[in-house]
């Protein structure tokens, strides 16, 4: 059910490269543009996606086994924040003509870690279809009496992706409509409440102190990417981001050392289920956790016990009714509790006790079923959670740089 890993990867051989890497110019917080222009170029983002994919494969990260020998499509989807600024590049990971995963890369150093997620499997939605369908829905909502001025792919409430359609009515008034890219549900243009329904901006929730901290973290990531690229050049591999490495090249790169001094992880065997309606993320998360404990409840049953998750979203108190409720209708985990200020250590400890937990952002419920952490030669400690998302699928997600909601510990 669970696995721990620990490795040592030729860190001493890396020292010779450090002095040259330290000369890489850093991004300064005060030099960031104030416009909506992107700070990180697509080319730079592709370099980061490539290096971190290779690193994850070479340290045998759970769930990414099929990524060995894969390549990254150099043309990403660009995902915007609801304030109009570029937020993430989403690159597809391709192997033998098939998409085996996606990687979200920060479009600005303000976001911290350059690589935010490793997402397993193909997309469950199509970008061009989502945009066209959203335009149709917007026209229907306004009876064809408003002109569409733009339609952008946005992260309207992390990790949820949708289309933001901007319209101008006949009186010249401007409005916007948010439509989920997967199920085409309309998302109210309001701050999310206890029911997790609404939209919010990642950039607008960043404090100036966090921006400076994040930029420093991104600079360390950039140094690490330069380090690995230099390693590849010593093997005669130029343009690392534009080729697929052979098995011999992968083995040689690992043998030389990729600057990871230690890595460990633990994974719980929680099945991936998908929500059955647009409000059912917390209900589907409960179904996954129940299945882990050998309990088979339908989403309709769980929603009826919680009193939410069909026509309205759920809040933690409603979820706890099911988790704490007596069997056979509830899960019987009477000590379950909700934490509005979750920490990495609390997540890690729960997994170490073989207890998956319900993890949340301000607008979405997921299941945290594992963790991994590693340190590189620049002293950067990375901490990721392995999660089952009832809308978007299974992925690794950087813990420290996302906006957390409440976590619910099932005990």
Can you give the pLDDT at residue 15? 38
Pairwise CA distance, residues 8 & 59, whole Å: 10
Gyration radius of the chain over CA positions? 22
Q: Are 387 and 159 in contact (CB under 8 A)?
A: no
Can you give the pLDDT at residue 18? 42
Pairwise CA distance, residues 51 & 215, whole Å: 19
Confidence of residue 26 (pLDDT cuts 50, 70, 90): low
For residue 2, pLDDT over 80 is answered with: no
Q: Which of 134, 124, 129, 132 is nearest to 180 (CA)?
A: 134
Q: Are 118 and 128 in contact (CB under 8 A)?
A: no
- pLDDT higher at 170 or 356: 356
Can you give the pLDDT at residue 27? 54
Q: What is the pLDDT of residues 207-252, one digit of tens each?
A: 998 899 999 999 999 999 999 999 999 999 888 988 899 999 999 9
For residue 37, pLDDT over 90 is answered with: no
Written as one string, the DSSP assignment of 248-314 is HHHHHHHHH--SEEEEEEEE--------SSTT-HHHHHHHHHHHHTT----HHHHHHHHT-SSSS--
For residue 166, pLDDT over 90 is answered with: yes
Confidence of residue 171 (pLDDT cuts 50, 70, 90): confident
Report the mean per-residue pLDDT for the chain.
Answer: 91
């Amino acid at each position: 059910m669970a696995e721990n890993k620990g490795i040592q990867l030729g860190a001493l051989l890396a020292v010779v490269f450090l002095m040259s890497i330290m000369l890489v110019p850093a991004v300064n917080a005060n030099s960031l543009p104030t416009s909506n222009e992107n700070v990180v170029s697509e080319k730079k983002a592709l370099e980061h996606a490539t290096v971190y994919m290779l690193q994850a494969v070479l340290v045998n990260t759970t769930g990414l086994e099929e990524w060995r020998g894969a390549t990254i499509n150099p043309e990403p989807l660009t995902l915007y924040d609801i304030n109009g600024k570029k937020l993430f590049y989403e690159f597809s990971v391709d192997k033998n003509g098939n998409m085996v995963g996606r990687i979200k890369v920060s479009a600005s150093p303000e976001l911290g870690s350059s690589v935010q997620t490793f997402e397993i499997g193909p997309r469950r939605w199509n970008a061009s279809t989502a945009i066209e369908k959203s335009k149709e829905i917007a026209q229907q909502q306004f009876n064809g009496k408003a002109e569409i001025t733009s339609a952008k792919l946005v992260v309207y409430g992390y990790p949820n992706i949708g289309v933001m359609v901007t319209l101008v009515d006949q009186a010249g008034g401007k409005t916007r409509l948010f439509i989920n890219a997967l199920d085409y549900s309309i998302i109210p243009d309001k701050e999310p409440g206890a029911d997790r329904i609404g939209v919010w901006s990642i950039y607008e929730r960043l404090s100036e102190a966090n921006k400076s901290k994040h930029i420093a973290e991104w600079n360390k990531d950039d140094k690490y990417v330069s380090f690995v690229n230099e390693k590849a050049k010593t093997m005669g591999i130029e343009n690392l981001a534009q080729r697929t490495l052979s098995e011999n090249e992968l083995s040689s790169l690992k043998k030389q050392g990729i600057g990871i001094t230690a890595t460990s992880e633990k994974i719980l065997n929680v099945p991936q289920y998908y929500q059955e309606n647009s409000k059912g993320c917390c209900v589907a998360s409960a179904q996954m956790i129940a299945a882990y404990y050998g309990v088979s409840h339908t989403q309709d049953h769980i929603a009826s016990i919680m009193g939410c998750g069909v026509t309205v979203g759920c809040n933690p108190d409603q979820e706890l009714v099911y988790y704490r409720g007596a069997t056979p209708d509830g899960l019987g985990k009477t000590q379950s509790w909700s934490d509005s200020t979750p920490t990495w250590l609390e997540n890690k400890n729960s997994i170490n006790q073989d207890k998956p937990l319900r993890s949340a952002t301000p607008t979405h419920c997921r299941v945290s079923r594992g963790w991994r952490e590693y340190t590189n030669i620049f002293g950067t400690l990375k901490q990721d959670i392995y999660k089952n998302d009832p809308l978007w699928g299974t992925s690794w997600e950087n813990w420290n740089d996302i906006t957390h909601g409440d976590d619910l510990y099932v005990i």
